[in-house]
Amino acid sequence: MKTRGAWAVSRQGIRTVTVLELRQRIRSTRWVIALVVWFLVVAAITGLTFAVFRSDLIGTDPTQPWIGRTIFGLVVFFVLFLGLLVSPTLSATAINGDRAAGTLATLQVTSLSAAEIVFGKLLASWIAALAFLAVSVPFILIAMSAGGTSAASVLSTLALLAVILAAVCAIGLGFSALTARTPASAVLTYIAVATLTVLSLIAFGLTVPAISSDDQVRLYDVSPAATWDQSGDQQCVWRTQTIRQVHTERTWWLLAINPFVVVADAMPESAIGSAGASAGDQDPMSIIRRGVREARTGPGNEQTRCWSSTQSGPAERPLNRSPVWPWGLAVNVLLGAIAVWFAVRRLRIPQRNLARGTRVA
Amino acid sequence: MAINAEGDGADPAAGVVATDVHRSFGPVRAVNGVNLTARKGAVTALIGPNGAGKTTLLLVLAGLLAPSSGTVRVAGLDPVTQSSLARTKTGWMPDVFGTWDTLTAREVLTTVADAYRIPRAVARPRVAGLLGLVHLAEYADRPAHVLSRGQKQRLGLARALVHDPEVLLLDEPASGLDPRSRVDLRHLLRDLAADGMTVIVSSHVLSELDELADDAVFMSRGQTVASETMAEASSSLRSWRVGTLSLSTLTAWLTDADIVWRPAPGHRPGIDLPHDEPGAVLVDLAGAEQASELLARMVGARLPVSSLAPAAGALEQAYLALDEERR
């Protein structure tokens, strides 16, 4: 028999912890009530979204693809929103709660490794989060039936939601290993989620002055001496001018780490990048996607302000179309991985240092 | 009193050996120089006042805390470097613990068996046997939260035994147990020790340990202050209580016989002694043989003696004696 370290992992060990966690949770009736409430809320939101976008208020043909995509996008965003609200409660007290209840140390002294305990708890909270996601699937499918969304993008969206919820569960687990008291870890987890979703957005807005600069830009502009010629076209010339530009290419990542942006950006593009919003991409997902990619591209050092049919100006600065969501998803997953690593370190025994305010047993 | 200072060489057959173990939490030195040898096949009592470091020492022995310095061997293994292996040989029952409330007693033990990687086929009969052993068979399929404190305590004991450990560490196991369960616990631990298990029991309820323990280790302020076998503790000088129908007759005889006596507590010590009324006095005797001898003399002198018994448990007296030394 070999000595197993803190990172030794076996399927059986993880399953033991996961089954234990789920048994404790599933047998409480609160869990069933929560699922029912979730079901009703998502149903209500889906119904309301349909009611709004199928009504005369929109003033356009309700069978247009972008209407269908808007309905789909709003339902998915709402499910993600609820998932971000619920996931922290599933994992953010998993470790310090057990410690307070006096059940953690009795598990640590068994043959289970620290990693098995952490992964088992993570898996259990993720399964619980997936149960909420599964309850939402009927409504996501109903939203898909509104048109404009392919089955493939429904699947990829669900997969992304699942990964994001796993990352949030992992972050909650990390905080539950950090703090002694359960309210503290719950609050920290919500702050982390709020940082990813709302505070990052606010930071993006607030940093606009900091990333603005007066740049020398080549402008292809109407000549000051120009007169309207017979054809009605403008006389355009190149000139250099100092104008104020917002260099969002330095802060686009603040948008990219947002789980909502990740989900939106990963949707297959419809008519992205074409000048002006075509009828195809007025849905929220497409608007976000275009916005974040434009932010990433940033302003160039050449601009055209001349719209002439005869004179060819500089080609419009190409939009960086490479997807943003892999970066955002990677950051979220990385945060989760760091949290898991930290939690395993905290659960290693024999413990050398005890965090302030914590007890072993 | 035969109290040998600790630190003599480790017994190779020992189940648990701790050598100069220190453990501090920041500025607090919870364990500050513990030397302890717990023999295999014996019950060792860990005795000390609250805050003496008993629980911390047991956490170190259970492999949950690393000692700041010093070495520990549990079943011949180092809980620091051979953590997982040592854990499989160690059963630990904390003083305060929770149960997984929504699980039944049987599920609790099955889960622990899973956690120790015991195959289900082996675990099932073992769990059933343990539930019977701690008299919880009728509660096997009820959720743990309906169990009383004492029943949970017994379930905790069964949990510590699931993997058939070589070393059993029990932190205040008798707290919350009714008298019947205490007797059962005593018999169970004696049986386990007889089967070759090393049992360490911490407690401050000394009367519990008198009949249970083979050896005693005294702890005070994070240190082992003394250790002795129960035989030593019993043979050392201790107070015996002599009950009589006539205090004046007894005390007069004791004074004549040059036997030092003092009023027994609870019998209004001081000026109004001796009276010609029933009462009791304390005398210091070195073991049962001296007691028997004294009894024979008193009966021979036709004194109205009604009883002669140790005034308190052997451990309690040893403990109190240590306490006084410390002051």
Those of residues 119-148 in B touching chain A at CB distance below 8 A are: 143
* CB of A12 less than 8 A from some CB of B: yes
| Statement: residue A253 has pLDDT above 90 | yes
User: What pLDDT, on the 0 to 100 scale, is given for residue A276?
Assistant: 43
> What are the helix (H) ranges across A147-258?
151-178, 182-194, 200-206, 252-256
Those of residues 23-52 in A touching chain B at CB distance below 8 A are: 23-24, 27-28
* CB of A274 less than 8 A from some CB of B: no
User: What pLDDT, on the 0 to 100 scale, is given for residue A9?
Assistant: 92
User: What pLDDT, on the 0 to 100 scale, is given for residue B11?
Assistant: 45
Asked if residue A211 belongs to a domain, the reply is no
- Pull the structure tokens for residue B157: 């004991």
B87/A110 touch (CB, cutoff 8 Å), yes or no: yes
Please name the member of A1, A23, A351 whose beta carbon is closest to the beta carbon of B102: A23
Asked if residue A272 belongs to a domain, the reply is yes
Those of residues 104-143 in A touching chain B at CB distance below 8 A are: 105-113
Contacts of A1 in chain B (CB under 8 A): 85, 88
Q: Which residue in chain B has the smallest CA separation from A98? A: B98
> CB pairs below 8 Å between A and B: how many?
101
| Least confident piece of the model among A204-218, A266-280, A324-338, B168-182 | A266-280
Question: A179 with A244, same domain?
Answer: no
| Statement: residue A115 has pLDDT above 50 | yes
* CB of B295 less than 8 A from some CB of A: no
Mean pLDDT for B146-158 is: 91
| Least confident piece of the model among A33-42, A197-206, A214-223 | A214-223
- The whole-chain average pLDDT of chain A stands at 87
Mean pLDDT for B303-325 is: 75
Mean pLDDT for B46-62 is: 90
Contacts of B63 in chain A (CB under 8 A): 109, 349-350
User: What pLDDT, on the 0 to 100 scale, is given for residue B284?
Assistant: 85
Residue, of A188 and B259, whose pLDDT is higher:
A188
Question: A285 with A176, same domain?
Answer: no
| Spatial distance between the Cα atoms of B70 and B35, rounded to a whole number of angstroms | 9
Asked if residue A275 belongs to a domain, the reply is yes
| Statement: residue B7 has pLDDT above 50 | no
* CB of A1 less than 8 A from some CB of B: yes
A112/B66 touch (CB, cutoff 8 Å), yes or no: no
User: What pLDDT, on the 0 to 100 scale, is given for residue B22?
Assistant: 95
| Statement: residue A212 has pLDDT above 80 | yes
Mean pLDDT for B37-57 is: 90
User: What pLDDT, on the 0 to 100 scale, is given for residue A232?
Assistant: 58
B25/A354 touch (CB, cutoff 8 Å), yes or no: yes
Question: A98 with A34, same domain?
Answer: yes
Q: Which residue in chain B has the smallest CA separation from A105? A: B64
Question: A200 with A223, same domain?
Answer: no
Q: Are B137 and B100 in contact (CB under 8 A)?
A: no
Question: A189 with A230, same domain?
Answer: no
Q: Which residue in chain B has the smallest CA separation from A109? A: B87
- Pull the structure tokens for residue B167: 């070393």
CA distance B195 to chain A (A): 22
| Statement: residue B2 has pLDDT above 70 | no
User: What pLDDT, on the 0 to 100 scale, is given for residue B1?
Assistant: 31
- The whole-chain average pLDDT of chain B stands at 85
pLDDT in tens, A32-50: 899 999 999 999 999 999 9
Q: Are A350 and B66 in contact (CB under 8 A)?
A: yes
CA-based nearest residue to B23, from B261, B307, B222 = B222
Contacts of A180 in chain B (CB under 8 A): none
Contacts of B100 in chain A (CB under 8 A): 20, 23-24, 103
Residue, of A233 and B161, whose pLDDT is higher:
B161
pLDDT in tens, A59-105: 667 677 788 888 999 999 999 999 999 999 889 999 999 999 899 99
- Pull the structure tokens for residue A291: 């916005």
pLDDT in tens, A287-324: 999 899 999 998 888 877 776 555 555 666 677 888 99
Asked if residue A359 belongs to a domain, the reply is no
Q: Are B6 and B18 in contact (CB under 8 A)?
A: no
User: What pLDDT, on the 0 to 100 scale, is given for residue B88?
Assistant: 95
Mean pLDDT for B252-266 is: 83
Burial level of A227, CB count in 10 A (0-12/13-18/19+)? exposed
Domain boundary at A304, A337, A356, which? Answer: A304
Residue, of A229 and A320, whose pLDDT is higher:
A320
Q: Are A92 and A174 in contact (CB under 8 A)?
A: no
Please name the member of A23, A28, A361 whose beta carbon is closest to the beta carbon of B59: A361
Q: In a mutagenesis test of the A interface, which of B22, B100, B102, B104 is the best target, namely the one with the most A β-carbons within 10 Å?
A: B100
At A275, is the pLDDT very low, low, confident or very high (cuts 50, 70, 90)?
very low
Contacts of B105 in chain A (CB under 8 A): none
Asked if residue A310 belongs to a domain, the reply is no
User: What pLDDT, on the 0 to 100 scale, is given for residue B3?
Assistant: 37
| Least confident piece of the model among A200-209, A246-255, B92-101, B161-170 | B92-101
Question: A255 with A198, same domain?
Answer: no
| Spatial distance between the Cα atoms of B7 and B23, rounded to a whole number of angstroms | 18
pLDDT in tens, B180-221: 888 999 999 999 999 999 999 998 777 777 778 888 898 888
With a threshold of 0.80, does the pTM exceed it?
A: yes
Question: A188 with A337, same domain?
Answer: yes
pLDDT exceeding 70 applies to what percent of chain B?
A: 88
Q: Which residue in chain A has the smallest CA separation from B118? A: A111
A24/B102 touch (CB, cutoff 8 Å), yes or no: yes
pLDDT in tens, A137-180: 999 999 998 888 888 889 999 999 999 999 999 999 999 999 99
At A199, is the pLDDT very low, low, confident or very high (cuts 50, 70, 90)?
very high
| Spatial distance between the Cα atoms of B185 and B179, rounded to a whole number of angstroms | 10
User: What pLDDT, on the 0 to 100 scale, is given for residue B325?
Assistant: 52
- Please give the full DSSP string across A16-69, using - where no structure is assigned: HHHHHHHHHHHTSHHHHHHHHHHHHHHHHHHHHHHHHHTSGGG-S-TTSHHHHH
With vertex at residue B17, the alpha carbon angle to CA B40 and CA B315, rounded to the nearest 5 degrees, is: 70
Which residue shows structure tokens 């023999």? B39
User: What pLDDT, on the 0 to 100 scale, is given for residue A280?
Assistant: 55
User: What pLDDT, on the 0 to 100 scale, is given for residue B73?
Assistant: 95
Question: A62 with A196, same domain?
Answer: yes
Asked if residue A352 belongs to a domain, the reply is no
CA-based nearest residue to A325, from A283, A294, A292 = A292
CA distance B211 to chain A (A): 29
B102/A108 touch (CB, cutoff 8 Å), yes or no: no
| Spatial distance between the Cα atoms of B290 and B320, rounded to a whole number of angstroms | 22
B66/A8 touch (CB, cutoff 8 Å), yes or no: no
Q: Which domains does chain B have, with CATH numbers?
A: 16-229 (3.40.50.300), 236-326 (3.30.70)
CA distance A25 to chain B (A): 8
Question: A171 with A250, same domain?
Answer: no
* CB of B62 less than 8 A from some CB of A: yes
Mean pLDDT for A221-233 is: 64
CA distance A335 to chain B (A): 28
User: What pLDDT, on the 0 to 100 scale, is given for residue B168?
Assistant: 97
Asked if residue A360 belongs to a domain, the reply is no
**Domain membership of residue A132 as a residue range:** 11-205+325-346
Q: Are A86 and A161 in contact (CB under 8 A)?
A: no
Question: A78 with A123, same domain?
Answer: yes
At B139, is the pLDDT very low, low, confident or very high (cuts 50, 70, 90)?
very high
Number of domains observed in the structure of chain A: 2
Asked if residue A212 belongs to a domain, the reply is no
User: What pLDDT, on the 0 to 100 scale, is given for residue A236?
Assistant: 77
CA distance B163 to chain A (A): 9
CA distance A16 to chain B (A): 6
Please name the member of B64, B85, B114 whose beta carbon is closest to the beta carbon of A108: B64
Contacts of A101 in chain B (CB under 8 A): 98
User: What pLDDT, on the 0 to 100 scale, is given for residue A277?
Assistant: 44
Question: A47 with A106, same domain?
Answer: yes
CA distance A215 to chain B (A): 57
| Statement: residue A272 has pLDDT above 60 | no
Give the strand pairing for B28-39 and B69-74.
Answer: unpaired
* CB of B115 less than 8 A from some CB of A: yes
Q: Is B48 helix (H, G, I), strand (E, B) or coil?
A: coil
Mean pLDDT for B227-243 is: 74
* CB of B50 less than 8 A from some CB of A: no
| Statement: residue A274 has pLDDT above 60 | no
Question: A164 with A113, same domain?
Answer: yes
| Spatial distance between the Cα atoms of A168 and A126, rounded to a whole number of angstroms | 9
Q: Which residue in chain B has the smallest CA separation from A4? A: B84
pLDDT in tens, B71-93: 999 999 999 999 999 999 999 99
CA-based nearest residue to B31, from B44, B13, B48 = B48
User: What pLDDT, on the 0 to 100 scale, is given for residue B4?
Assistant: 38
CA-based nearest residue to B91, from B122, B124, B63, B123 = B63
